[in-house]
């Protein structure tokens, strides 16, 4: 059935634009420094903590008044004092490769296809559904996301499409699709390392029919049977300065410059992949995450990627599909919402079978390389292979219960899960890990993220009670669990309301540097370094469908955990680096299973005791 885009759009209501949301306030110094001391105390000996108190006191006397005044001035002047800094520090100025730590992978539920023609049909349907979502975002027709009763900033949705990170020496540039005056009408399809421009919308912004898209994909297939001997896209997986040198060298050739412009202005990329098998001991689901994160190495699909593009749909040959997404323009939840929407379109079979056909030919986008660039391609392939082999990533679904259980016990599911990470880690390593958890700041105009830190002293006390031998009385363990989860939830609320610690400390550091002021001693202290070395790095990305996101660990000794708590099951993607030697994703999954079961048992036993009283 043909459905007009406008009819579909009118079923969504525009309630609020981001500019109506409050501006991010400058946080209060007293609260930030109290948090700093609390987190330090949980990690330090008494003597070390005395030293930290001195450092904080000196900071308050010497540096704070000037730095806070400068920050408040910036907060008055900008729509969001943090976001421009954050985009630079966390993304554009980072010189490290995008896969596997910065760019997450996202996995669709398994689709029902297993043939080359099925691969094209699903690629066409995913593309058309994504385009429908693009039009809704572009025309402000998406329902605002909410956190409780608070609407969230929706600007990230517009940044997802037509956007590219362009490599530059020192600091990359981000080119947003929504900034182009012209109407973007094409996507780029990559197969066997060859790039093609494929039309996806007509000049009136009507999506092409499924048959028109599929027909073009068939042409792509017929023109790309032989693998590209010089797949320059693999260099986009390497260090950013290396890629910047190659990129500017490519641009000197006019034809290359045209091809690169077509990639930059593509609404998104579709990678038609070749088949891949999981390594021994891993599942198909684990392999799906490898394909979404890095493509499995240069001999598999890593040469079939363009890591600068915000959205790359990766379409396997056996029903497994997903996305590699470049993180600069958006956080995980808008990407999760796009993936949910695409799944809805499949459930409702809501594709336009009729509609415009393409008015332009599929266009091969040649990139002519020099011998120097070819040498770089070989080196980048080797680097990618090393990373792909080193990353240990597993998909783990906890089936005994979902977020319904902690809710029934009047505990925040997110805080409950975070305490399970602390317990699992402690049982493996006999210490508590400095832990990063993303909190959204989207209640504020152009908001991005804050960091909810665990562990606190309350988390430490809960873990000690859980592992104590002989066992502690169950009501004491239960009280410690409730105190730890409440403390975590309280800090979560602080973070989401712009009273977190991390971004405020970062702001003082950056504003000192921007104003040529001396770097305060606090930022050179051991405790500041210690607090910024995370051994567990986590992010919750909830979705309605069975969609999982994943990313690599932020340090060699770290666990990277992306999780999706659903009502009756909890989904986790756990990653570690094999070369570290003392971490293992499977071992962590096993301990997490045990921690979640033990925590439920504590609650059940405590509830039974209370009901007997």
Would you call 327 a catalytic residue per the annotation? yes
Shortest Å distance, C-beta 420 to ligand COA: 12
Name the nearest CA neighbour of 463 among 455, 452, 473, 451: 455
Q: Shortest Cβ distance from residue 125 to ligand COA (Å)?
A: 26
Is the bond into 140 cis (omega within 30 degrees of 0)? Answer: no
Choose between 413 and 433: whose C-beta lies nearer to ligand COA. 413
* All residues at 6 or more sequence positions from 144 whose CB lies less than 8 Å from its CB, including other chains: 15, 16, 151, 152, 154
Query: Nearer to ligand COA by C-beta: 149 or 410?
Result: 410
Q: How many CB atoms are located within 10 Å of the residue 50 CB?
A: 10
Spell out the residues 6+ positions from residue 218 whose beta carbon is closer than 8 angstroms to its own: 120
Number of residues that bind ligand COA (CB under 6 A): 21
**Cβ proximity of 394 and 586 under 8 Å:** yes
Contact pattern from residue 539 through residue 568 relative to ligand COA, giving x for each residue in contact according to CB under 6 A and a dash for the rest: xxx---------------------------
Segment interacting with ligand COA (CB under 6 A) among 71-79, 152-160, 316-324, 537-545: 537-545
Check binding of 321 to ligand COA (CB under 6 A).
no
Q: Please, where are the H alpha helices in 430-542?
A: 457-467, 474-496, 502-514, 526-531
Query: Looking at beta carbons only, is 192 or 548 nearer to ligand COA?
Result: 548
Residue 516 makes CB contacts below 8 A (sequence gap 6+) with none
- Binding of ligand COA by 411 (CB under 6 A): yes
**Which of 391, 452 has the CB closer to ligand COA?**
452
Single residue of 80, 302, 440, 454 touching ligand COA by CB under 6 A: 440
Cα(605)–Cα(141) distance, integer angstroms: 49
Nearer to ligand COA, 147 or 610 (CB): 147
Q: Taking the CB of residue 121, how many other CB atoms lie within 10 A of it?
A: 19
Interface mask toward ligand COA for 324-363; x: CB under 6 A: -------xxx------------------------------
In contact, 163 and 244? CB cutoff 8 Å: no
Q: Is 407 in the site for ligand COA (CB under 6 A)?
A: yes
Contacts of 558 (CB under 8 A, 6+ apart): 534, 535, 536, 537, 576, 583
> Residue 93, Cβ neighbours under 10 Å: how many?
12
Q: Interacting stretch for ligand COA, rule CB under 6 A, among 211-219, 236-244, 427-435, 536-544?
A: 536-544
- The verdict on 435 binding ligand COA (CB under 6 A) reads no
Residue 325 makes CB contacts below 8 A (sequence gap 6+) with: 103, 104, 105, 106, 310, 311, 312, 335
Residue list 240-269, contact with ligand COA (CB under 6 A): none
The distance of closest approach from Cβ of residue 599 to ligand COA in the complex, given in angstroms and rounded to an integer, is 14
Based on the shown chain and the rule CB under 6 A, indicate whether residue 413 belongs to the binding site for ligand COA.
yes
Instruction: Specify the residue, 193 or 413, whose C-beta has the smaller distance to ligand COA.
Output: 413
Strand segments, DSSP code E, in 1-135 are: 105-107
Cβ proximity to ligand COA: between 23 and 407 the closer is 407
Q: Under the criterion CB under 6 A, does residue 438 sit at the interface with ligand COA?
A: yes
Q: Which of 294, 327, 504, 571 is catalytic?
A: 327
Contacts to ligand COA from residues 450-479, by CB under 6 A:
452
Residue closest to 211 by CA, chosen among 130, 124, 293, 134: 124
Q: Is 291 in the site for ligand COA (CB under 6 A)?
A: no
Segment 486-525, which members bind ligand COA (CB under 6 A)? 492, 496
- State the sign of the Cα–Cα–Cα–Cα dihedral 432, 522, 61, 49: positive
Positions that interact with ligand COA (CB under 6 A)? 147, 331-333, 403, 407, 410-414, 438-440, 449, 452, 492, 496, 539-541
Residues involved in catalysis: 327
């Amino acid at each position: 059935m043909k459905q007009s885009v406008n009819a579909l759009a009118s079923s969504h209501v525009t309630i609020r634009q981001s500019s109506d949301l409050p501006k991010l306030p400058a946080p209060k110094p007293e609260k930030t420094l109290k948090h700093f001391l609390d987190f330090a105390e949980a990690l330090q000996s008494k003597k070390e903590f005395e030293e930290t108190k001195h450092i904080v006191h000196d900071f308050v006397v010497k540096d704070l008044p000037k730095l806070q005044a400068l920050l408040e001035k910036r907060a008055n002047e900008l729509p969001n004092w943090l976001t421009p800094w954050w985009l630079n520090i966390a993304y554009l100025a980072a010189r490290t490769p995008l896969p596997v730590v910065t760019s997450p992978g996202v996995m669709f539920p398994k689709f029902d296809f297993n043939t080359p023609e099925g691969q094209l049909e699903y690629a066409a349907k995913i593309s058309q559904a994504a385009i429908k979502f693009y039009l809704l975002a572009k025309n402000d027709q998406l329902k605002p996301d909410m956190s409780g009763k608070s609407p969230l900033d929706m600007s990230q949705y517009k940044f997802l499409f037509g956007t590219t990170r362009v490599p530059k020496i020192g600091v990359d540039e981000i080119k947003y699709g929504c900034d182009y005056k012209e109407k973007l009408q094409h996507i780029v399809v990559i197969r066997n390392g060859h790039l093609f421009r494929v039309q996806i919308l007509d000049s009136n912004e009507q999506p092409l029919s499924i048959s028109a898209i599929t027909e073009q994909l068939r042409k792509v297939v017929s023109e790309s049977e032989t693998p590209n001997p010089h797949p320059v896209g693999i260099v986009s997986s390497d260090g950013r300065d290396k890629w910047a040198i190659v990129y500017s060298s490519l641009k000197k050739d006019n034809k290359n410059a045209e091809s690169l412009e077509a990639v930059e202005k593509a609404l998104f990329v579709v990678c038609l992949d070749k088949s891949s098998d999981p390594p021994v001991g891993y599942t198909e689901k684990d392999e799906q995450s490898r394909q979404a994160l890095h493509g499995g190495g240069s001999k598999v699909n890593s040469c079939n990627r363009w890591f600068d593009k915000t959205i790359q749909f990766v379409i396997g040959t056996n029903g497994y599909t997903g996305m590699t997404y470049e993180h600069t323009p958006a956080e995980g939840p808008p990407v999760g919402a796009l993936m949910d929407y695409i799944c809805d379109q499949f459930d409702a079979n809501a594709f336009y079978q009729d509609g415009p056909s393409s008015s332009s030919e599929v266009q091969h986008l040649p990139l002519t390389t020099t011998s120097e660039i070819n040498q770089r391609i070989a080196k980048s392939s080797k680097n990618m292979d090393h990373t792909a082999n080193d990353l240990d990533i597993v998909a783990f679904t906890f089936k005994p219960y979902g977020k319904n259980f902690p809710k029934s016990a009047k505990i925040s599911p997110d805080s409950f899960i975070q305490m399970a990470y602390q317990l699992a880690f402690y049982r493996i390593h006999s210490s508590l890990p400095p832990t990063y958890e993303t909190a959204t700041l989207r209640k504020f105009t152009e908001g991005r993220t804050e960091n909810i830190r665990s562990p606190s002293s309350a988390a430490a006390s809960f873990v000690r009670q859980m592992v104590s031998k002989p066992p502690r009385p169950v009501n004491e363990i239960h009280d410690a669990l409730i105190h730890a989860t409440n403390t975590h939830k309280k800090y979560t609320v602080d973070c989401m309301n712009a009273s977190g610690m991390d971004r405020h400390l970062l702001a003082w550091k950056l504003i000192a540097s921007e104003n040529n002021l001396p770097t305060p001693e606090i930022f050179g202290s051991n405790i500041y370094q210690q607090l910024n070395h995370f051994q567990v790095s986590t992010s919750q990305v909830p979705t309605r469908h069975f969609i999982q996101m994943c990313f690599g660990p932020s340090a060699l000794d770290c666990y990277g955990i992306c999780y999706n708590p659903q009502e009756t099951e909890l989904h986790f993607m756990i990653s570690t680096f094999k070369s570290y030697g003392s971490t293992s994703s499977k071992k962590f999954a096993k301990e997490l299973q045990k921690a979640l079961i033990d925590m439920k048992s504590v609650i059940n036993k405590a509830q039974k005791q209370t009901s007997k009283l």
